[in-house]
Structure 1
Amino acid sequence: MTLDKLKFPIGEFEKPETITENILTNWISVIALFPEKLTSEVNNLTDSQLDTPYRPGGWTVRQVVHHCADSHINSLTRFKLALTEDNPTIKPYFEDRWAELPDSKTLPIDSSLKILEGIHARWITLLNNLTNQQLKRTFVHPEKGKALSLDEATGLYAWHCNHHLAHITTLKQRKNW
């Protein structure tokens, strides 16, 4: 398996030309099911397995789990900012640096699994109640230099869920865990 395939096991996010109601419903379903799927994949892993990088030079499974909690906390905040402010510029963060902090490298994963369960419960309630007009609200990501609509951001985070889940599932397959 190539390093690029290990880094992006499902490929990179590709925004569809038109975001239909069916596509959006599918994305929301992916986000809704993510905490349960992630927990199922990591719950019985040993500390040694959790501390295994999913690829050479990549994060460990433990860091991936903690990263998902960090990322999805930020995402829910970005959605709420976009819904309550006009095209706000969000604050990016150095996810690679966050992944190197002691809580991401050493803390048991239970706290992040609980965070994901709670964040996703709130996020799904929000997503399921947004109007078409609200889904078109935007925020600006300064690193990308453009406005991102909430419907597109929903797709990006559905991809994010599947992307990191695939990091774990492909590692487990390769290691025969």
Structure 2
Amino acid sequence: MTEQELQKLKYPIGTFDCPSNITSEIIESWISILEHFPNRLENLIKNLSDEQLNTPYRPDGWTVRQVIHHLPDSHLHSYVRFKWTLTEDKPVIKPYFEDRWAELFDYEAAPIQTSLLHLRVIHEKLVYLIKGLSEDELNKSFIHPEMQSEVVLKKNIGIYAWHSNHHYAHIENLMKRNNWI
């Protein structure tokens, strides 16, 4: 497999490219992605067998099961980052080792239903919160120590809308390549 092919498997929709001017229309489209993502994901994977769930989406990549367990954990972190940012002055967030989390036994063996429910609840809470934010609140930011940069909340909405579509594409592309859909 060429490096270009591997990159396409890693980033099937490309990397996140934030517009320089994040308009209310863009935010609304990102919110819509977040709002509908749990249903889209559940509909995509509802007929997968355990064998299919345990299939990596790319060489040396996570299995579908690991991706499904990763999503609510990652998006819970995002939700907490919103809360910190809304209640503190430019908080420094705590990053986590998502690759190590994915190696834990629950990511490799646990049924996906709990993570799907967790994802649904986190997205309902996150979307409800975001829809109620003022322009001033959307412009608040947190510090990401790994990136050594400030992240504005309205950009963070886009990051997680992209993140949702990014992992959806991982699973969907695997299913297409393997003729599961």
1:75 aligned partner, one-letter code: S
Structure 2 matches for 1:78-117, cutoff 5 A?
78-117=81-120
Q: Which residue of 1 aligns with 2:51?
A: 48
2:161 aligned partner, one-letter code: A
Deviation at 1:17, TM superposition (A): 1.2
Secondary structure of the 1:2 match is helix
2:179 aligned partner, one-letter code: N
Q: Which residue of 2 aligns with 1:65?
A: 68
Secondary structure of the 2:127 match is helix
**CA distances 1:14-63 after superposition (whole Å, capped 9, x unpaired):** 01010011111000000111111111111110000000000000000000
Q: Which residue of 2 aligns with 1:4?
A: 7
Q: What TM-score, normalized by structure 2, do the two folds share?
A: 0.97
Percent sequence identity is 52
Structure 2 residue runs without a partner (length 5+): none
User: Distance in 2 between the 1:64 and 1:147 partners?
Assistant: 27
**What is the total number of aligned residue pairs between the two structures?**
177
Q: Which residue of 1 aligns with 2:148?
A: 145
Please report the RMSD computed on the Cα atoms of aligned residues, expressed in angstroms. 0.7
Structure 2 matches for 1:132-171, cutoff 5 A?
132-171=135-174
User: Distance in 2 between the 1:71 and 1:149 partners?
Assistant: 18
User: Distance in 2 between the 1:151 and 1:58 partners?
Assistant: 30
Structure 1 residue runs without a partner (length 5+): none
Q: Which residue of 2 aligns with 1:131?
A: 134
